[in-house]
Structure 1
Amino acid sequence: MNPLLSKFATKHDTAPFAQIKTQDFLPAFTESIARAKAEITQIANNPAPPTFENTIEALSFAGDTLDRVSNIFFNLHSAETNDEIQKIAQEVSPMLSEFSNDIRLNPELFARVKSVYDQKSNLRLTPEQSMLLDKKYKGFARNGANLPDDKKEKLREIDKELSKLSLEFGENVLEETHDFELHIADDQQLSGLPEGIVEAAKEEAKSRDKDGWVFTLDYPSYIPFVTYADDRELRKKMAIANGAKAFRGNTRDNREIVLKIAKLRHERAQLLGYDTHAHFVLEERMAESPAKVKSFLQDLLEKAKPAAEREFAELEQFAKDTDGIDRLEKWDGAYYSEKLKQQRFNLDDEKLKPYFKLENVLEGAFTVSHKLFGLTFNQINDIDKYHEDVMTYEVKDVTGQLVAIFYADFFPRKGKRNGAWMTSFKSQYIVGASNERPHVSIVCNFTKPTETKPSLLTFNEVTTLFHEFGHALHGMLANTTYPNLSGTSVYWDFVELPSQIFENWCYEPEALALFAKHYQTGEVIPQEYITKIKESASFQQGMATLRQLSFGLLDMGWHGQDPTAIVDLKAFEEAQFASTKLYPDVAENAMSTSFSHIFQGGYSSGYYSYKWAEVLDADAFEYFQENGIFNTEVATKFKENILSKGGTEHPMVLYKRFRGKEPKVDALLKRAGLL
């Protein structure tokens, strides 16, 4: 019996990881696709006249087995993959894209959806039902339902090819990340590196049956190395290796894949009647159009660039005065920034880390969400997990009702991609009298505990944990009827608001006092450190803003114009980076070949949304600050109008209901010290 295909006989309907074998996935996909197709056929061929209930609502709940199988499989593909899983992914991705197209290009089904859509003004729909109807209709119209048959066929071919290419892209990046190691035998070369990082590198070497120390391109190893290592040549080696991922002319080179993806996306948009891929994507975003995004990025660029150039000149002078460096290179940036920051604020991560033991920080996120939203988190050990490192929790509200199941997976390992993300194994939705609660997960890559020390986080890792936890709250507090409007199923330039606003509590003395305690003495973080954390928050914000804008501009470069004439990826990138360039170029490096957000994740034409959401989050947090950061009235408004509503109404309507007005960019500029 395939455990993926029957109702899970588990506590809270959680995924039965212990029973699932890798070989169960392919048959589970084949069978659940067949089941979903049968459900769709039934809806399409229903002899009764089309209604909202028998067509739109029925479609919303169709294919739930397939959704669960997909969620479990692709979450493992990101967090716990192996050759077998990657092979299955290559096989099932085209099957899934074919299935999506079978639905979207089904003429009988579309006729029923269109019939309900055309009667919309006469139907008495709730805002959520109205949004669902819009979304379903556009899902068809924006994906080829109105095309003639020959063009529908072309669309199918493109979608199949795109799903395979983005998988291949991600697998190449993962292999390139794991392929590199910096093996050090001479302890002189460890100069400048913090003790905890050196200890972790020794354990890494031991795990590879080597003497000495091994550093890798995984973030907890790479970032501290380029930030603290005194040996400039080794920093250069690491930085070049990191920037050369999938750009080395070997079998894992992503250049051709990137060009193919960009061109196929453009061809697809044109087929559907849009100027570019960005025009297609942004129609369903708060930003609405490429022109609006470009003007938003340009506006921020004008405000940030003078500050960034001043900061860069200061950093260059500092490196010259300190070590006689004539030309600041990319592998010098983090190193001298950290030194300058220490000189200015007498504050570094090594001073802060003892106060940020992972377990305490996680407990801090729990406490903050308890104070704001009345949630409690109880660790449980009687549900399955996909890896021993994963921690599992029951989340309950003030009445003791189950709100969600929460999984947390914090450490790097082979088979887990870099970065940090939130995901879910099961969405929230309401069926009959039952409000099905979500199963939400956050996945990060933090410094592992060693033999002598627990996992101590850098301040940047603390904000990362709070960021992903903000996404998790959006998923956990969801309270909508339909699974495809639930939780984080919102416009992509709105999805970062809950995550980014939650980071703000990491800078507030009142919140830090709850969890920032020395792991050995239990002493609360000194007030002078908190003051310095706040003061240093806007340190080099001009440069940081320019860096984010450069990624947004590169994304719009690939997707906001016709890419068919691009032959040289590197030359194209340089042109896109011209207005944001500070450091000299590195010939061996390229950004696009490992820019997973836009070529593997869902951020194509959407990278700008991080900055867009920062405007929302700075404006929203100002509201908390005006009333007290634990003000329950403001928190309840945020929960009821933003977190629980998912994608049931237009984000600006929800935002204005919470805030009472549209957001202004000034709050962000003030916070970043750019006004």
Structure 2
Amino acid sequence: MSIKPPQPAPSWDHRPEDIGTLIKDLIAKDRSIEDKIAALPREDCNFESVKYFVALSEAETNFDAIAEPLSFYQNVSADKALRDASNEAEILVRDYGVESSMRIDVYQAKVAAEKNIKESGKWEKLTAEEKLLIKKLILDGTRSGLALPEEKRNQLTTLQKELSQLCLEFSKNFNEEDERITFTARQLDGVPADVVSGYTKRIEALEEVYDVTYKTPDIFPIFKFAKNPETRRQAFEGYESRLEVNVPLLSKALGIRRQIASLLGYKTWADYITEVEMIRNGKGVTDFLDDLEEKLRPVGLKDRETLLALKKKEHEELGLPFDGEFYIWDYRYYDRKFIEETLDLDDMLVKEYFPVTVVVPTILEIYQNLLGVRFEEINGTTWHPEVQQFSVWEKDSKDESGFIGYCYLDLYPRGGKYSHAAEWTLLPGYDRPDGKRSYPISAMVANLAKPTPDKPALMRHDDVVTFFHEMGHVFHDLLSRTKFSRFHGTSVARDFVEAPSQMLENWCWEPKVLEKMSSHFKTKQPLSPELITKLVKSRYVNVGLSYLRQVFFAKFDIKVHTSSENEDYTALWSSLRESISLVKSGKPTPGQGTFGHITGGYDAGYYGYTYSLVFAADMYATVFKADPLDPSRGKRYRDKILFPGGSREELESLKDFLGREPNSKAFLNELFGSGASANL
């Protein structure tokens, strides 16, 4: 018999007309709380008696608990009116956030409270998390420019609001993008039949044609399988240009960021952003990426030479012209062919062993056993009928004290939905003022292929890796146990936040895990040992080109956030890709308009995906590699990495978990072998 959770699941029955009213009421209530705090006599501002810092933290938590789910609708609702209302509400929320961050009277109360606490001798009585809360709340004010003269503060407020709206519009264009590219059956030669059967077919000029969306399950098979290079070129250029509308928005946003950084006294936006990250400054990012590129370049050149030879051979066999160049639209196609030919590994065959209905519950089972939790699917209102809702419990819990939180899985593409894979913290966990716990709510959003007329929904192995990764973020949120929501779960330094999830990707390359979560959709047999061996070997095939692609994204990001003026970002996008990724771009395409990270919270931070891989590799090799499914190792990970969230320095969590300072040996060994230098 199921135990009733101590906290009800949220309701998802909002109407478009409700959203604005709820947000306006919420803002008014929060403003009144800040007014009261700002009006406190300065001698009464402290932590214990007035609960000044706790009151501010509680107000922030209560605000986000209502605002976050309402803002979430714009990413997942099938109702355009609700998406639009959600987007408009987030504009109000962000504008109010700027207004709130610029309140000099509240900032002065924070400073007075810290001074009073220290002078009264009560500082040492605070816990480490309480001290960190005070430090962060005051740092918020200084980083917002509240130590500046009024004229500059007013300038900052205007610029921050404009920047916020530009980023929201960029994101909205991403979600609303619904373009199509059309191909004939002949042009789609090589694309698997089950993929083509999922395209919309119609008659045009007396010929059957197929309309292809730019959603991942539709367009990526063309990149990987279309034999005609012209088809791949058209598909790629269309894909890169699908969000050209975002190009002027990004240029304007970058210009505003430069102005804000200058007003705040930072040399560049990158220096401002990285000040609170593990790497600490923009030069650290540039040095890290330069070093990594230098190490990867010889490997990438060798990979390119191998794939170019494969292209030359195929063009000769097919009678196609060969100009000696290796284009960006050649990469996925020949990478796949190389793996097939050298390892005899067929990506589409592997896909048949990963039906969604088998993989998803098996991955949940693996996580449950490893981390000592239990998922129970529940009925209830969600934002879409396809969404699964779970209550999450301690594995052996007998009563409500074992409740952990709620989890949602929204796995399939639809119009207007966020088009990639991501995890959202809809409600963080924290201790309420009455001493009870408020439990976290997390949502995992993906875009897996839907069933076709002759096959069930199947996952490419890449999809399996992505699912494992995003569920890692889910568990970071579910299993964190901090006092204040400010430090809950994934609220860690941005250049560390990916490390726990990246570490968990390793499970997708472990033979016994692959066997456990695979089941051919017809025979129900798992992957054979032979196929598993081939799949594992494919992990680091063409690793130089693969990682140089990530370095390209990171270098574009850091370059535009360290430059002193606007430039032709379309030309920069293409030239950097050619010089770093070692592929020709063809005609310049406005791919920067599709770079959602740069306006979605990873500005001057994309380097973090590679930077955190160093920590991920070290954690896995040191603790999990010997027995990746061992629950005792899972408990160590849960207790020392997930549990503290951002309530202590990330380096402290790493040292606690590893038993020593982290290093880059495991990461470099993965890429270059055991003889690699560890000077990264």
Q: TM tier, shorter chain?
A: over 0.9
Bigger shift: 165-174 or 601-610? Answer: 165-174
Match of 2:57 in 1: 60
Equivalence map 1:472-511=2 (5 Å) = 472-511=474-513
Structure 1 632/640 Cα, relative in aligned 2: closer, same or farther at 3 Å?
Answer: same
Among candidates 343, 349, 352, match of residue 351 of structure 1: 349
Task: Please tell me the residue identity of whatever aligns with 1:125.
Answer: L
Task: Please tell me the residue identity of whatever aligns with 1:656.
Answer: K
Among candidates 19, 22, 38, match of residue 16 of structure 2: 22
CA-CA distance at 1:116 after TM superposition: 3.0
Secondary structure at 1:188's aligned position in 2? coil
Task: Please tell me the residue identity of whatever aligns with 2:620.
Answer: F
Match of 1:140 in 2: 141
Secondary structure at 1:190's aligned position in 2? coil
For the 8 Å contact 1:624–1:630, the answer to whether it is kept is: no
CA-CA distance at 1:581 after TM superposition: 4.0
CA-CA distance at 1:551 after TM superposition: 0.5
Among candidates 358, 361, 370, match of residue 359 of structure 2: 361
Secondary structure at 1:544's aligned position in 2? helix
Distance 1:386 1:87 in 2: 15
Structure 1 128/567 Cα, relative in aligned 2: closer, same or farther at 3 Å?
Answer: same
CA-CA distance at 1:623 after TM superposition: 1.7
Match of 2:442 in 1: 440
Task: Calculate the TM-score normalised by the size of structure 1.
Answer: 0.92
Secondary structure at 1:488's aligned position in 2? coil
For the 8 Å contact 1:94–1:161, the answer to whether it is kept is: no
Calculate percent identity across the aligned residue pairs.
27
Distance 1:645 1:220 in 2: 37
- The answer as to 2:367 corresponding to 1:376 is no
Distance 1:667 1:511 in 2: 21
Match of 2:429 in 1: 428
For the 8 Å contact 2:23–2:89, the answer to whether it is kept is: yes
Equivalence map 1:558-573=2 (5 Å) = 558-562=560-564, 564=565, 566-573=566-573
CA distances 1:161-188 after superposition (whole Å, capped 9, x unpaired): 011111222233344x41223253xx33
Match of 1:50 in 2: 45
Secondary structure at 2:301's aligned position in 1? helix
For the 8 Å contact 2:91–2:168, the answer to whether it is kept is: no
Distance 2:55 2:20 in 1: 26
Task: Please tell me the residue identity of whatever aligns with 1:419.
Answer: H
CA-CA distance at 1:195 after TM superposition: 2.5
Structure 1 276/89 Cα, relative in aligned 2: closer, same or farther at 3 Å?
Answer: farther
Task: Please tell me the residue identity of whatever aligns with 1:306.
Answer: P
CA-CA distance at 1:463 after TM superposition: 0.1
Task: Please tell me the residue identity of whatever aligns with 2:81.
Answer: E
- The answer as to 2:107 corresponding to 1:95 is no
Match of 2:25 in 1: 31
Match of 2:7 in 1: 12
CA-CA distance at 1:543 after TM superposition: 0.3
CA distances 1:301-323 after superposition (whole Å, capped 9, x unpaired): 11111000110011011110122
CA-CA distance at 1:531 after TM superposition: 1.1
CA-CA distance at 1:110 after TM superposition: 1.1
Task: Please tell me the residue identity of whatever aligns with 1:56.
Answer: F
Structure 1 13/522 Cα, relative in aligned 2: closer, same or farther at 3 Å?
Answer: same
Among candidates 108, 125, 130, match of residue 111 of structure 1: 108
Structure 1 161/498 Cα, relative in aligned 2: closer, same or farther at 3 Å?
Answer: same
For the 8 Å contact 1:32–1:63, the answer to whether it is kept is: no
- The answer as to 2:328 corresponding to 1:333 is no
Distance 1:473 1:152 in 2: 39
CA-CA distance at 1:577 after TM superposition: 4.1
Structure 1 14/593 Cα, relative in aligned 2: closer, same or farther at 3 Å?
Answer: same
Match of 1:250 in 2: none
Match of 1:233 in 2: 230
Distance 2:285 2:644 in 1: 25
Secondary structure at 1:52's aligned position in 2? coil
Match of 2:660 in 1: 661
Secondary structure at 1:242's aligned position in 2? helix
Match of 1:460 in 2: 462
Equivalence map 1:184-263=2 (5 Å) = 184=184, 187-202=185-200, 213-247=210-244, 253-263=245-255
Secondary structure at 1:178's aligned position in 2? coil
For the 8 Å contact 1:50–1:113, the answer to whether it is kept is: yes
CA distances 1:138-170 after superposition (whole Å, capped 9, x unpaired): 111100211111111111100110111112222
Match of 1:641 in 2: 640
For the 8 Å contact 1:182–1:238, the answer to whether it is kept is: no
Match of 2:451 in 1: 449
Distance 2:614 2:7 in 1: 38
For the 8 Å contact 2:250–2:593, the answer to whether it is kept is: yes
Task: Calculate the TM-score normalised by the size of structure 2.
Answer: 0.91
Distance 2:87 2:459 in 1: 36
Distance 1:166 1:73 in 2: 18
CA-CA distance at 1:492 after TM superposition: 0.6
Match of 1:412 in 2: 413
Task: Please tell me the residue identity of whatever aligns with 1:340.
Answer: F
For the 8 Å contact 1:93–1:163, the answer to whether it is kept is: no
For the 8 Å contact 2:623–2:658, the answer to whether it is kept is: no
Distance 1:120 1:507 in 2: 52
CA-CA distance at 1:575 after TM superposition: 5.2
Structure 1 120/81 Cα, relative in aligned 2: closer, same or farther at 3 Å?
Answer: farther
For the 8 Å contact 2:188–2:222, the answer to whether it is kept is: no
Structure 1: runs of 5 or more not aligned: 1-8, 248-252
Distance 1:263 1:294 in 2: 20
Distance 1:161 1:259 in 2: 13
Match of 1:156 in 2: 157
Task: Please tell me the residue identity of whatever aligns with 1:404.
Answer: G
Aligned residues: 650
Distance 2:625 2:88 in 1: 53
Task: Please tell me the residue identity of whatever aligns with 2:340.
Answer: Q
Secondary structure at 1:278's aligned position in 2? helix
Secondary structure at 2:424's aligned position in 1? strand
Structure 1 95/631 Cα, relative in aligned 2: closer, same or farther at 3 Å?
Answer: same
- The answer as to 2:340 corresponding to 1:342 is yes
- The answer as to 2:533 corresponding to 1:531 is yes
For the 8 Å contact 1:93–1:164, the answer to whether it is kept is: no
For the 8 Å contact 1:492–1:606, the answer to whether it is kept is: yes
Task: Please tell me the residue identity of whatever aligns with 1:27.
Answer: T
For the 8 Å contact 1:367–1:514, the answer to whether it is kept is: no
Distance 1:335 1:227 in 2: 4
CA-CA distance at 1:87 after TM superposition: 4.1
For the 8 Å contact 2:216–2:447, the answer to whether it is kept is: yes
Secondary structure at 1:649's aligned position in 2? coil
Structure 2: runs of 5 or more not aligned: 317-321
For the 8 Å contact 2:87–2:172, the answer to whether it is kept is: no
- The answer as to 2:545 corresponding to 1:543 is yes
Structure 1 359/232 Cα, relative in aligned 2: closer, same or farther at 3 Å?
Answer: same
CA-CA distance at 1:625 after TM superposition: 4.0
Structure 1 120/590 Cα, relative in aligned 2: closer, same or farther at 3 Å?
Answer: farther
CA-CA distance at 1:480 after TM superposition: 0.8
